[in-house]
Chains A and B, each alone.
Chain A
Amino acid sequence: MAEHQAQSAVMDPLAHQFDDLQQQHEASNFGMWIFLATEVMFFGGMFAGYTIYRHEYFTAFAAGSHLLNWKFGATNTAVLICSSLTMALAVHAAQTGKRKALVTFLILTILLGMAFLGIKFTFEWSRDWNENLIPGELIAGHPFAPQGEILKQLQEAHAGLPQVELFMFFYFALTGFHALHMVVGIGLLTVLTVMAWQGRFSPERFNPVEGSGLYWHFVDIVWIFLFPLLYLIGGIS
């Protein structure tokens, strides 16, 4: 008898605390959005700080923005939008009960997320490291000290070095926390892929897929704002 109950608990898509599937779906989405509201505040604080100093040190922030390569920023924006599409298609596959399509789209989303991080690390952050553009002394013995052409470029823009360093602080804090969210998202999607492969989702119950999808799209939205604010504000040519 006990065994029978355990069996039915696994098979029943409706958790016992809910009246029906609609309510269960509603509760799952509502909870995820409450969490995302806290995420809006988390990134919002940094965006507010960025706005104030962008106003205060207008030229230095424009000069700092010129230290970033907008081509990588634009490429990564496209990569993330593609990953949002595959994520949306994964949710669609879960809703319509297509197990293989679900697994495929989840894996594609993971790969696109990794491509984003790969571009960020190999072409952007490592270059900032080599050019001594890491702000503060986050890494001992490796202070913010632009040299050569970059230093000349900053001086010609009449940008104060401490103010440019502040821009780089915002750049690393914002893109760093964004990348951390990507890593968490990839972790979530990996678990989902395994669960999807095992056939744990059905058109009646796919809340984890949809919830993780909301998270993934949110991280995409953060980048949609980061791209113009960090890469494009100084104007590009």
Chain B
Amino acid sequence: MAGHVVPQKVYFVIFALLIGLTGLTTWVATLDMPSPWNTVVALAIAIFKASLVILFFMHVKYSSNLTRAAVVAGFFWLAILLVFTLSDILTRQWIPQSTGWTTTIESPH
């Protein structure tokens, strides 16, 4: 037999957790938390749910290191995309920009 056979009970436990976390993320959205926290909590729950799916439903917990490397590589490259893009977008306001030689000319009325 090829591959690890996960007991069915594990699948049902993970399923219950995923449904519960969906309820939790929906409930959290009804709360009015200070600015970034709603998004942070929602994303944290989503990442946790995705990890459960990857580890148990997708058998990565029982997979070889080669498979795990492929999984990590995919999400690592996504992290590069997000971190480098956001490090540009979010820091543009930090340094005042010179406006160069252009001047604002009031149009005569």
Are the CB atoms of A89 and B3 closer together than 8 Å?
no
Task: Name the residue of chain A whose CB is nearest to the CB of B86.
Answer: A51
Known contacts A37-B74, A74-B22; decide if A25 and B42 are in contact (CB<8 Å).
Answer: no
Are the CB atoms of B2 and A22 closer together than 8 Å?
yes
Contact segment of A120-128, A165-173, A220-228: A220-228
Q: Which residues of A contact B95 (CB under 8 A)?
A: none
Q: In chain B, residues 23-64, which have Cβ atoms closer than 8 Å to a Cβ of chain A?
A: 25-26, 29-32, 38-39, 42-43, 45-46, 49-50, 53-54, 56-59, 63-64
Known contacts A55-B89, A233-B38; decide if A70 and B15 are in contact (CB<8 Å).
Answer: no
Complex: A44 Cα to B82 Cα, angstroms: 8
Chain A, 29-42, contact with B by CB distance < 8 Å: what is the 0/1 string? 11001101110110
B3 contacts which of A30, A48, A82, A95 (Cβ < 8 Å)? A95
Chain A, 75-117, contact with B by CB distance < 8 Å: what is the 0/1 string? 0011001101101110010011000000000000000000000
Are the CB atoms of A89 and B22 closer together than 8 Å?
no
Q: Which residues of A contact B22 (CB under 8 A)?
A: 74, 77-78, 81, 227
Q: Which residues of B contact A85 (CB under 8 A)?
A: 11-12, 15, 57
Nearest-Cβ distance from residue B71 to partner chain A, whole angstroms: 6
Are the CB atoms of A224 and B70 closer together than 8 Å?
no
Interface residues of A toward B: which range? 35 or more
Question: Which of B3, B5, B30, B49 is the most central at the interface, judged by chain A CB atoms within 10 Å of its CB?
Answer: B3
Complex: A95 Cα to B6 Cα, angstroms: 10
Are the CB atoms of A29 and B1 closer together than 8 Å?
no
Are the CB atoms of A225 and B11 closer together than 8 Å?
no
A214 contacts which of B5, B42, B45, B58 (Cβ < 8 Å)? B58
Nearest-Cβ distance from residue B19 to partner chain A, whole angstroms: 6
Complex: A82 Cα to B53 Cα, angstroms: 12
Q: Say yes or no: is B81 at the interface (Cβ < 8 Å to chain A).
A: yes
Are the CB atoms of A232 and B53 closer together than 8 Å?
no
Q: Say yes or no: is A11 at the interface (Cβ < 8 Å to chain B).
A: no
Q: In chain A, residues 202-237, which have Cβ atoms closer than 8 Å to a Cβ of chain B?
A: 203-207, 210, 213-214, 217-218, 220-221, 224-225, 227-229, 232-233, 235-237
Q: Which residues of B contact A236 (CB under 8 A)?
A: 26, 29-30
Task: Name the residue of chain B whose CB is nearest to the CB of A55.
Answer: B89
Are the CB atoms of B75 and A221 closer together than 8 Å?
no
A40 contacts which of B18, B57, B74 (Cβ < 8 Å)? B74
Complex: A51 Cα to B86 Cα, angstroms: 8
Are the CB atoms of A45 and B3 closer together than 8 Å?
no
Closest A-B pairs by Cβ, 5 of them: A37-B74, A25-B2, A33-B70, A232-B29, A228-B42
- Residues on A close to B: CB < 8 A? 21-22, 24-26, 29-30, 33-34, 36-38, 40-41, 44-45, 47-48, 51-52, 55-56, 70, 74, 77-78, 81-82, 84-85, 87-89, 92, 95-96, 203-207, 210, 213-214, 217-218, 220-221, 224-225, 227-229, 232-233, 235-237
Q: A29-B63, A205-B2 are in contact. List 4 more A-B contacts (CB 8 A).
A: A33-B71, A48-B81, A85-B15, A96-B5
Can you identify 19 A-B contacts, CB atoms within 8 angstroms? A24-B2, A29-B63, A40-B78, A41-B78, A48-B81, A51-B82, A51-B85, A55-B89, A78-B19, A81-B15, A81-B22, A217-B53, A221-B54, A227-B25, A228-B42, A232-B25, A232-B26, A235-B31, A237-B30
